[in-house]
Amino acid sequence: MAFEPLAADHGTTIPQDALWVACMGSLVEVCPCLGDARRAATVYQCFTPYEGANSVMGPTAVSYGAATRYLGMLAATRSPWGDAQRHGEDALAMNARMGARPWLAHTQSQYAIMLLARSQLGDGAQAVSLLDEARITARALGMRALEERLTARLEQRPMPCATA
């Protein structure tokens, strides 16, 4: 699997160029799908210097929203709920401030998934609210794949592996 060699060496074989964040972001997206807590911890260490930053990728400077969203996904995969909550709330706030509506919808979905996994008192209701907000935004922005995954999640149908 291509994921293994890239994650195994803490991302050091990935060139430190304009595409590094995009490549690392792809590793982040894979960790929750695989439920790979060990690799999530490795990739988390690579991403911690970017906490609080905006993820700008590629030579054309495409924004992928709050880099903290990635940290939240990785923390949720590893299950330190305090870190996952802190990163998720930071990413929600930053994406909202920036007006990054597509990334806000993804963050709402990912944070809701963390809440459902954590399953503390009140998490379920907050997760449903976040999923519904994300679905409304996805519909408004024409993000059909995300909207379908959110609808499936809200209707309690099995959802294909997707981080948001």
CATH code linked to domain 3-154:
1.25.40.10
90: its two tokens: 């930071």
3-state helix, strand, coil in the chain (%, to 5): 70, 5, 25
Higher pLDDT, 164 or 118: 118
pLDDT value of position 1: 47
- What pLDDT, in 10s, does the model give residues 20-32? 777 788 888 888 8
Higher pLDDT, 5 or 1: 5
Q: Is-contact 105 138, C-beta < 8 A? A: yes
CA torsion angle for 101, 107, 112, 118 (degrees, to 10)?
-160
Domain positions in the chain:
3-154
46 pLDDT exceeds 90?
no
pLDDT value of position 50: 80
- Cβ-count burial of 88 within 10 angstroms (0-12 exposed, 13-18 middle, 19+ buried)? buried
54 has which bridge partners?
Answer: 66
Residue 69 sits at the vertex; the CA angle it makes with 122 and 72, to the nearest 5 degrees, is 55
- What pLDDT, in 10s, does the model give residues 88-135? 999 999 999 999 999 999 999 999 999 999 999 999 999 999 999 999
What stretch of H or E contains 123? Answer: helix 123-141
pTM exceeding the 0.75 threshold for the entire prediction: yes
Question: How many Cα neighbours within 13 Å face the side chain of 125?
Answer: 2
